[in-house]
Structure 1
Amino acid sequence: MIPGAARYDVDVSIDETDVERLLEVMPEDVAAPTELTYARNVFVPLTTACRYTCTYCTYFDPPGAASLLSLAEVRDICRRGADAGCTEALFTFGDDPDERYTEIHAQLEEWGYDSIHDYLRAACEVALEEGLLPHSNPGDQTREQMGRVADVNASMGVMLETTADVDAHAGPRRKEPGQRLATIRTAGELAVPFTTGILVGIGDGWRDRAESLLAIRDLHGRYGHVQEVIIQPVRNNERWNGGTPDLATMRRVTAMARVALPDDVSVQAPPNLAPVRELIDCGVDDLGGVSPVTDDHVNPEYAWPALDELRSIADDVGLALTERLPVYERFLSAELRGNGAAANSAADREWVSPRIRAALGEDNDAGERYRRLID
């Protein structure tokens, strides 16, 4: 039983035969992709407050030290990103600040916001005004919370990390896989194009990795909403010295992901954290969001590669490198794609809200920047 699944009424189907099949997968069992994609973004760390205290995470700050960006700061970051040709504003923050973060709650109240999600909505509006499409990753969310912000986001995400109960999630506010899976399910119910992934090396075993990938596949099979799955190694930092998975481990788990997931779900490796040159032949076809403007605030010790380095990686493996939007093209209607293509199974649902559709169609620099990636 997945920890927390019963508490959050999550029922995922994981067949033991599929688990055993994945455990036999090796890199030579998969084919290399035909192209590599990436998104150009800015990283907007809305708040460093988090209810969890995962032992591998340097992002969260304790109560009394956590920060909250002002909307003026958000606007400045987004404006610099738009000037640099970015299309995505990646909003991140720790899961809902709990009652310990009195300063954060007081600041939100002073600024006129009832919750962090109300504030996130305002920040997403700023991003849209400045010519960027929001992609928010606010951690676990209830249906009400996600519904509050879904229409001002082109896509959203949360890392599943693992379906296992691992010591790295230890603490009085322990992260539960069942709650993560409930958030992924909620995104499917609300027709939100979604990014998720697994974190390798935090105490998870090979069976845990297989079950995690199959849980994601099961939820995607019900709703068709998962656009990419990140295979991310944990990295040593000031809070984690438990080691980093070796190359053989990353090659094998990446191949497992490619076999487990449908062809239309991308397998992503973050180029500042994973040895992507050695993973592409294992099925990696996306390099994620890379910023020419901001740091990776979740992993500040590991700098983004320059865009020229991404091109070099693609050249080395003989693949085209294609820039994409934060929402994958298959979730856009034929009208938005601008090429008269018939709707596919994803486009049969209303994946893009009127607010995002309007942004994609605007007759301005931002609209042109978006459309050049989908025309």
Structure 2
Amino acid sequence: MIPGAARYDVDVAIDEADVERLLAVMPEDVAAPTELTYARNVFVPLTTACRYTCTYCTYFDPPGAASLLSLAEVRDICRRGAEAGCTEALFTFGDDPDDRYTEVHGQLEEWGYGSIHDYLRAACEVALEEGLLPHSNPGDQTREQMERVADVNASMGVMLETTADVDAHAGPRRKEPGQRLATIRTAGELAVPFTTGILVGIGDGWRDRAESLLAIRELHERYGHIQEVIIQPVRNNERWNGGTPDLATMRRVTAMARVALPDEVSVQAPPNLAPVRELIDCGVDDLGGVSPVTDDHVNPEYAWPALEELRSIADDVGLPLTERLPVYEQFLSTSSRDGVTESESNWVSPRIRAAIRAETDPGERFRGVLESRP
């Protein structure tokens, strides 16, 4: 039983035969992709407050030290990103800050916002005004919270990380896999194009990795909303010295992901954290969001490669490299969801669709990315 599944009424059945088949997968069992994709983004670290205290995470700050960007700061970051040709505003922050973060809640109240999700909505509006498409990662969300911000996001995401109960999720406010899966399910119910992934090396075993990938697959088969799955290794940092998975581990788990997931779901390896050159033949077809403007605030010790390096990676493996939007093209074109046509599709809100279709910049920039694809 997945920890927390019953508490959050998550009905995900993992077939033992599927687990065994996946555990037998090796890199030579998969084919390399036909192209590589990436998105050009800016990181917007809306707040570093987080209810969790995971032992591998350097992103969160304790109460009294957590930051909260003003909307003026959000606008400045987004404006610089738009000027650099970015299309995505990646809103990162810790899970909904709990009552310990009195200063954060006090600042939100002073600015006239009742919750961090009310504030996130305002920040997404700023991003849209500055010509970027928001992609938010607010952590675990209730249906009400996700509904509050879904229509101003081109896509959203949360890392499942693992279906296992691991010591790395330490402390009295432990992450529960069941709650993570409930958030992914909620996105499916609300027809939100979604990104998720697993975090490798935090105490998870091979069976845990197989079960995590199969849980993601089952939810996608139910709702059709997963656009990409990130296979991310944990990296040593100031809070984590438990080691980083070796290349053989990453190659095998990446191949498992490619076999587990349907073809329409991309397998992503973050190029600042994973040895992507050695993973592409294992099924990696996306290099994630890379920023020419901002740092990776979640992993500040590991700088983004320059876009020229991504082109070098693609050249080395003999594949075309094409830019994409934060929402994958299949959610913008004719939808296969219950036979719904494009004009009726509810995958992308009218607000986001209008931004992409606009006749003037930034709409021209968004359409240019789509039209440049082979």
Q: TM-score, normalised by structure 2?
A: 0.97
Alignment counterpart, residue 351 of structure 1, candidates 347, 362, 373: 347
Alignment counterpart, residue 364 of structure 1, candidates 326, 351, 360: 360
Q: CA deviation at 1:345?
A: 4.3
Q: CA deviation at 1:333?
A: 3.0
Superposed counterparts of 1:1-375, under 5 Å: 1-334=1-334, 343-345=335-337, 348=340, 349-375=345-371
Secondary structure at 1:252's aligned position in 2?
helix
CA distance in 1, matches of 2:158, 2:83: 28
CA separation of 1:346/1:280 partners in 2, compared to 1, >3 Å: closer, same or farther? farther
| Structure 2 letter corresponding to 1:354 | P
Q: CA deviation at 1:373?
A: 1.5
CA separation of 1:57/1:347 partners in 2, compared to 1, >3 Å: closer, same or farther? farther
Q: TM-score, normalised by structure 1?
A: 0.97
> How many residue pairs align between the two structures?
367
| Structure 2 letter corresponding to 1:367 | G
CA distance in 1, matches of 2:114, 2:360: 33
Identity %: 90
- 8 A contact 1:331–1:347 mirrored in 2: no
CA distance in 1, matches of 2:260, 2:64: 43
CA separation of 1:347/1:148 partners in 2, compared to 1, >3 Å: closer, same or farther? farther
Q: CA deviation at 1:117?
A: 0.1
| Structure 2 letter corresponding to 1:278 | E
| Structure 2 letter corresponding to 1:362 | A
CA distance in 2, matches of 1:363, 1:23: 50
Q: Any stretches of 5+ residues in structure 1 without a counterpart?
A: 335-342
CA distance in 2, matches of 1:356, 1:327: 10
CA distance in 1, matches of 2:77, 2:135: 14
Q: CA deviation at 1:347?
A: 7.7
Q: CA deviation at 1:344?
A: 3.7
1:10-69 deviations in Å (ceiling 9; x for gaps): 010211000000000000000000000000000000000000000000000000000000
CA distance in 2, matches of 1:346, 1:100: 44
CA distance in 1, matches of 2:368, 2:255: 32
- Structure 1 runs of 4+ aligned residues shifted over 3 Å read 343-347
Secondary structure at 1:51's aligned position in 2?
coil
1:253-307 deviations in Å (ceiling 9; x for gaps): 0000000000000000000000000000000000000000000000000000000
CA distance in 1, matches of 2:188, 2:300: 31
CA distance in 2, matches of 1:193, 1:97: 25
Q: CA deviation at 1:107?
A: 0.1
Q: CA deviation at 1:96?
A: 0.4
Q: CA deviation at 1:361?
A: 1.4
CA distance in 2, matches of 1:346, 1:63: 46
Secondary structure at 2:362's aligned position in 1?
helix
- 8 A contact 1:229–1:267 mirrored in 2: yes
Q: CA deviation at 1:374?
A: 1.6
| Structure 1 letter corresponding to 2:363 | G
- 8 A contact 1:360–1:371 mirrored in 2: yes
- Return 7-16 or 357-366, whichever deviates more: 357-366
CA distance in 2, matches of 1:258, 1:221: 15
| Structure 2 letter corresponding to 1:258 | R
Secondary structure at 2:168's aligned position in 1?
helix
Secondary structure at 1:373's aligned position in 2?
helix
CA distance in 2, matches of 1:344, 1:210: 27
Secondary structure at 2:370's aligned position in 1?
coil
Q: CA deviation at 1:346?
A: 8.1
